[in-house]
């Protein structure tokens, strides 16, 4: 019989610039986008004129790449070695764990496979290839939260009968919505800046090795930031 999940915690982690070193989606768009539409969209998103879905939809429709070219680019991506340590901790304690990403399955799957993480649940936007072009879609878009492309909180809100504490690990703008709905937040970069500016509590980190260590303490000492 499979062991029951830990009844105290549930862990979600972002992918780009959290698990991966640097932002993989940005690197794909910058490398393969044709023309300058992607930059116009990026600026409109950054200034709040358009939401993330409109931005990503236009950017992904503007890229062109052969399977070989994309695969070779994805082969150059490296990930934070601390991710394996986090998985070791969550595995030891049977903490249900999933990746929540604003990236796309077609881009994430080869990377997760190469590092041996295909068995980890991963929810993302969806991308299909059509020749050398791509068709994005957004299965987790939430009409009540139009700023998100993949509204990550929909995987754990509403909580219903689930009383487990949600641990969230992230770095950027798409992590704000789920973080505001989590119990324990590990934050770096712009997510940390947002939490600091808003006077909200979170656990700052630099890399995932640090998160794995703090996570171990948190589980053993049952320390929370709330
Ligand atoms: Mg990120
Ligand atoms: Zn949202």
pLDDT at 161 over 60: yes
Residue 224, pLDDT score: 47
Handedness of CA 154, 106, 82, 119 (dihedral sign): positive
Comparing 4 with 70, which gets the higher pLDDT?
70
Answer whether residue 53 shows pLDDT above 50. Answer: yes
Measured CA to CA, the distance from residue 37 to residue 59 in angstroms comes to: 7
pLDDT band at 223 (very low <50, low <70, confident <90, very high): very low
- Report pLDDT digits (tens) over 26-44: 999 999 999 999 999 999 9
pLDDT for residue 2? 61
Per residue in 175-195, pLDDT tens? 999 999 999 999 999 999 999
Using the mean position of ligand 2's atoms as its centre, give its distance from the Cα of residue 180 in Å: 10
Q: Does 100 have pLDDT greater than 80?
A: yes
Task: With a cut of 90, say whether residue 225 has pLDDT above it.
Answer: no
Cα(1) to centroid of ligand 1, in Å?
Answer: 36
pLDDT above 70 coverage of the chain, percent: 96
CB proximity list for 122: less than 8 A, separation 6 or greater: 15, 98, 99, 101, 105, 108, 109, 112
Q: What distance in Å separates the CA atoms of residue 154 and residue 144, rounded to the nearest whole number?
A: 10
Ligand nearest to the CA of 179: 2
Q: What separation in Å is there between the alpha carbon of 46 and the centre of ligand 2?
A: 16
Q: How far is the CA of 19 from the centre of ligand 1 (A)?
A: 8
Mean confidence (pLDDT) of the chain: 95
Per-residue pLDDT at 76 exceeds 90: yes
CA 66–ligand 2 middle distance (angstroms): 32
Q: Rounded CA gap, 186 and 19, in Å?
A: 13
CATH, range 9-22+79-126+136-221: 3.40.50.1000
**Whole-angstrom Cα distance, residue 94 to residue 201?**
26
Evaluate if residue 1 carries a pLDDT over 90: no
Lowest mean pLDDT among 61-65, 101-105, 157-161: 157-161
- 169 Cα–ligand 1 center, Å: 9
Closest CA to 51 of 136, 143, 178: 143
Judged by its nearest atom, the ligand closest to the C-alpha of residue 24 is: 1
């Amino acid at each position: 019989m499979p062991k029951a999940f830990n009844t105290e915690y549930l862990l979600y982690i972002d992918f780009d610039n959290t698990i991966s070193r640097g932002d993989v989606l940005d690197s794909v768009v910058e490398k393969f986008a044709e023309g300058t539409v992607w930059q116009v969209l990026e600026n409109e998103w950054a200034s709040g004129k358009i939401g993330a879905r409109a931005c990503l939809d236009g950017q992904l429709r503007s890229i062109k790449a052969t399977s070989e070219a994309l695969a070779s680019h994805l082969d150059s991506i490296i990930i934070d070695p601390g991710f394996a340590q986090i998985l070791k901790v969550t595995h030891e304690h049977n903490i249900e764990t999933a990746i929540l990403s604003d990236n796309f399955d077609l881009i994430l799957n080869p990377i997760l496979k190469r590092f041996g993480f295909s068995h980890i649940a991963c929810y993302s936007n969806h991308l299909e290839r059509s020749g050398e072009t791509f068709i994005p879609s957004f299965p987790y878009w939430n009409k009540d939260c139009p700023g998100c492309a993949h509204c990550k909180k929909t995987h754990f809100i509403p909580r219903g009968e689930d009383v487990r504490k949600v641990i969230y690990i992230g770095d950027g703008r798409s992590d704000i919505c789920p973080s505001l709905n989590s119990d324990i937040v590990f934050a770096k970069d712009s997510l940390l800046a947002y939490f600091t500016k808003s006077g909200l509590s979170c656990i700052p980190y630099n890399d995932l090795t640090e998160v794995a260590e703090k996570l171990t303490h948190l589980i053993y000492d049952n320390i929370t930031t709330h």
